[in-house]
A and B are shown apart, each in its own frame.
Chain A
Amino acid sequence: MQKPSLFNSLSGRLLLLGVIPALVVIAGIVAWSAIDGYRSVRAAEEKVLGGAVSGAAAELNVRNEGWNLVAAIMAGAQESGLFGKRNDSSLFTRRVNASTTGIVSAFIVYEPNADGNDAASMKDASAARDAMDASGRFGPNWFNLDASGSGTDKLRFTPGAETMEFYQSPKKEFAASKKAAAFVSEPRQDENRFVVSHVFPIVIDGKFAGIAGVDRSLERLTEVANEIRTRSGADVFILSSGGRLLVAPGKKGQDGETRLSSSPVAETPYKEIAARWQAVTAGGEADVFEAMDPVLGEQCFYGVERTKIGGWTVVARRTLADAMREENYSIARNLVIGVLGMIVVAGLMFTVSRGIASRVRTAAQAADRIARGDLTEAIAETENRDETGQLMGSMRTMDSNLNSLVGNVKQAGIRLNSTATEIAATSKQQEASSATFGAASNQIAAAVKEISATGQDLVRTMESVSRMAAESASLATTGRAGLQSMEGVMRDLDGATSSIADKLNAINDRSQKITTVITTITKVADQTNILSINAAIEAEKAGEYGSGFLVIAREIRRLADQTASATLDIEQMVRQMQAAVSAGVMEMDRFADQVRRGVRDVVSAGSQMTEIIDRVNRSTDSFKQVNESMQAQSEGAKQISEAMGSLVSNANQTVQSAKEFGRAAGDLQAAIALLRDAVAKFKLRENA
């Protein structure tokens, strides 16, 4: 029996139909979960990063607006009467610096000789020299010595007033627009601090007369960036409107702390992506997109917003890996649970299906082997008690019973065949013997009939002789004249006597042949008797199967005994007949002598007629005796004939019985052959 392929096997199909669909479902669930997780993360990042940068931009807007307002107030104070009052203006500037939290300096810068007092101030001893340059131009700058803005302050002339961007840019804008507007400068380094200036133009009589403003430290920007980072876990970039990187996250390995910078972003690796950042419109919705980070080398989410005041660009960055960390953990957890579950399910299915398949395969192989008639191998016991175990138990019981049944049938077939063969042989022998016996009996019957016929002839002859003797006596008594005639009669008598003697001798010879036949019959009966005994012995050995034949053997033996008994009777009758014939022959010899003597007497002497008559009378008596003997012989032959008739009938009956018996034995052999052919294809175990 061929082992089925994996696809056709029970365990293979269970695995294919159970595990593969489950794997597909689990993979689908994991993939769907991953896609859904990515979408969720994307949506969450849009909210988180968008919210973070929007909040930061709003805060920066508020702060910038506040500092711009301070600068506008300072400029308004100049335009409202303080312009030209240098000492008061310096004092006002100092008070603004001292009273405003978050700034590092407050300043005013006049155009050269804007108030017409540059030369006079140089000559005025009470004028503060530190608030002027060498030409007497007024430009007081009160700045704090420490970054917190508290403690001591110091006056100086505002450095670079004529060349710096915070002075030139608002001056040019006013010249262009004739409108005074607040200005936020690019960051710069002042006294080792990164600062930006919030400036407002001083317009006197419609002319640009200078600027008033405050410097504020960018340290606060790092605080804003770190708050965003704490809230959202995102790195923060802040770019000035001129493309300088005000705040940037530290490199990896530096705790990701944001740092201040004033480098142009075009000189940093963020050059290309910064162009996309700066493309965001100020005052619009925060833009969130995904791109490769040039420094980290990872895919990142970017949230970008631009402030209305100052035009600063706030960027929040979060790596895709960080954003997806929890989702990845969730997906990995689902995947691991799914795979573990699948492995467990597959293992259980494989174990269960393998056990079931193994038992079913064993049962199938056993059934195939039994179907091919091979019962040599016993089916192993199994301790399994499920349906397959019960199937194996039933198969085992069936195999055992079948083995026992076929073994018994084979044994019975062998015994039956042996017995049937012997029965057939015995039947044929019995039939042949009975046929021979019947033929011999027929011969005997024919011979006996012939004896009987001869005896009847003899009786008739003797009666004729007797009559003739009587007539001779009558003739003798009537006279000598009849002597001549009597002589002739006597000669005839002599001839008849000789004929009788010959016939008696023939009877004697036939009797000898009868004796020979009887001996043959006796031997046949004897052999039949022996055969029946042997048949009975074999039938007894055959046990139950021979019980029927035991009866048949006993019947055959009874018939053989009857045959022997009848043969013995025949033998006795033939012996009696032979004795009678012998006596007849002797009598006939003696009678013949007398007849011859009578003839001689008749011929030789007529005078001895009386004596002749006497002798004739004695002959008559002898004839009478002979006649009686012949009667007895005839009666005996008749009895023999009747006995032989009965014997022939018995023999014919025996022949018919033997033929019927032979046909039955033939049918039995044919049935046994069919039985043997039917069970021959079964191979049995040694002990079956």
Chain B
Amino acid sequence: MNSLAVIWSCGGLLFSTATESVIEVLSPVSPTPAPGAPAWLLGLFDYRGKLIPLVRVSELLGRERAADRMSNRVLVVKADLGADFRQCPVGLWVDHIVELERPDFGTAHPGFAVPGADFLGAVVQTKFGQVREVRAGNLFTAEQIELLAGRLRDRGAA
């Protein structure tokens, strides 16, 4: 049986992330501002007593930023942020959660590779439309990992 995945939308497109990588889905949170940070990093927020990064996925995906709504969700996933922050929780700011489904990526189109976006996987057709897989483990580039790890160290999150 295929793995259960969270189907979510961002910038009008549908994406899926396997539940093995998802820790929790949260209501919209208010992050601590990160001065001088790139546009995709909204800041750090308190997640169960720990400060973790909040990332705007639309910026990572190169999508147009949609207006913030009540239906926005924070997808807390396990990401690899270097040696000091293995399996570190990271919050992804998405438009809304569509459903929990079991997409069959075994027969899916592998998708087109996007430079700098190794986290994008195969594309599969579902009853909600075309859904593209997002692998949480490969979410960030080396520079982004260095930036996030630095921020976490500055805040003493390690």
- Chain A residues within an 8 Å CB radius of B22: 537
Given A526-B70, A530-B73, residue A537 in contact with residue B27 (CB < 8 A): no
Pair A533/B27 contact, Cβ less than 8 Å: no
A534 to B97 alpha-carbon distance, docked (Å): 11
**Cβ-defined partner of A530 (8 Å) among B3, B19, B20, B25:** B25
Residue A540 is within 8 A (CB to CB) of chain B in the complex: yes
Pair A536/B27 contact, Cβ less than 8 Å: no
A550 to B6 alpha-carbon distance, docked (Å): 13
A529 to B97 alpha-carbon distance, docked (Å): 9
Instruction: Annotate B14-58 by CB proximity to A: 1 below 8 A, 0 otherwise.
Output: 000001101011110000000000000000000000000000000
Indicate the member of B19, B24, B27, B73 with the most A CB atoms within 10 Å. Answer: B19
Given A530-B25, A530-B26, A530-B27, residue A537 in contact with residue B73 (CB < 8 A): no
Given A540-B19, A554-B100, residue A533 in contact with residue B26 (CB < 8 A): no
- Chain A residues within an 8 Å CB radius of B6: 533, 537
Pair A526/B27 contact, Cβ less than 8 Å: yes
Pair B70/A537 contact, Cβ less than 8 Å: no
Pair B25/A533 contact, Cβ less than 8 Å: yes
Pair A533/B100 contact, Cβ less than 8 Å: yes
Given A526-B70, A540-B19, A541-B19, residue A533 in contact with residue B4 (CB < 8 A): no
Pair B4/A540 contact, Cβ less than 8 Å: yes
- Chain B residues within an 8 Å CB radius of A536: 4, 19, 100
Residue A456 is within 8 A (CB to CB) of chain B in the complex: no
Residue A362 is within 8 A (CB to CB) of chain B in the complex: no
CB nearest neighbor in A for B20: A541
Instruction: Annotate B84-109 by CB proximity to A: 1 below 8 A, 0 otherwise.
Output: 00000000000001001000000000
CB nearest neighbor in B for A564: B71
Number of interface residues of B (CB under 8 A): 15
Residue A527 is within 8 A (CB to CB) of chain B in the complex: yes
- Chain A interface size band reads 10 to 19
**Cβ-defined partner of B19 (8 Å) among A522, A529, A537, A554:** A537
Q: Give chain B nearest CB distance to A545 CB in angstroms.
A: 14
A370 to B3 alpha-carbon distance, docked (Å): 40
Within 8 A of B (CB), among A509-555: 522, 526-527, 529-530, 533-534, 536-537, 540-541, 550, 554
- Chain A residues within an 8 Å CB radius of B27: 526-527, 530
A536 to B24 alpha-carbon distance, docked (Å): 10
Q: Give chain A nearest CB distance to B122 CB in angstroms.
A: 20
- Chain B residues within an 8 Å CB radius of A541: 19-20
- Chain A residues within an 8 Å CB radius of B3: 540
A533 to B25 alpha-carbon distance, docked (Å): 7
CB nearest neighbor in A for B8: A533
Q: Give chain A nearest CB distance to B154 CB in angstroms.
A: 30
- Chain A residues within an 8 Å CB radius of B71: 526
- Chain A residues within an 8 Å CB radius of B100: 533, 536-537, 540, 554
A369 to B3 alpha-carbon distance, docked (Å): 43
CB nearest neighbor in A for B73: A530
A527 to B6 alpha-carbon distance, docked (Å): 17
The interface of chain A, by Cβ under 8 A from chain B, is: 522, 526-527, 529-530, 533-534, 536-537, 540-541, 550, 554
20 pairs across A/B with beta carbons < 8 Å? A522-B70, A526-B27, A526-B70, A527-B27, A530-B25, A530-B27, A530-B73, A530-B97, A533-B100, A534-B24, A534-B25, A536-B4, A537-B6, A537-B22, A537-B24, A537-B100, A540-B19, A541-B19, A541-B20, A550-B4
Could you list 11 further interchain pairs (A-B, Cβ under 8 angstroms) beyond the known A537-B4, A540-B4?
A526-B70, A526-B71, A530-B25, A530-B26, A530-B27, A530-B73, A533-B6, A533-B97, A536-B4, A536-B19, A537-B24
- Report, nearest first, the 6 A-B pairs whose CB atoms are least far apart: A540-B4, A540-B19, A537-B19, A533-B25, A536-B100, A534-B24
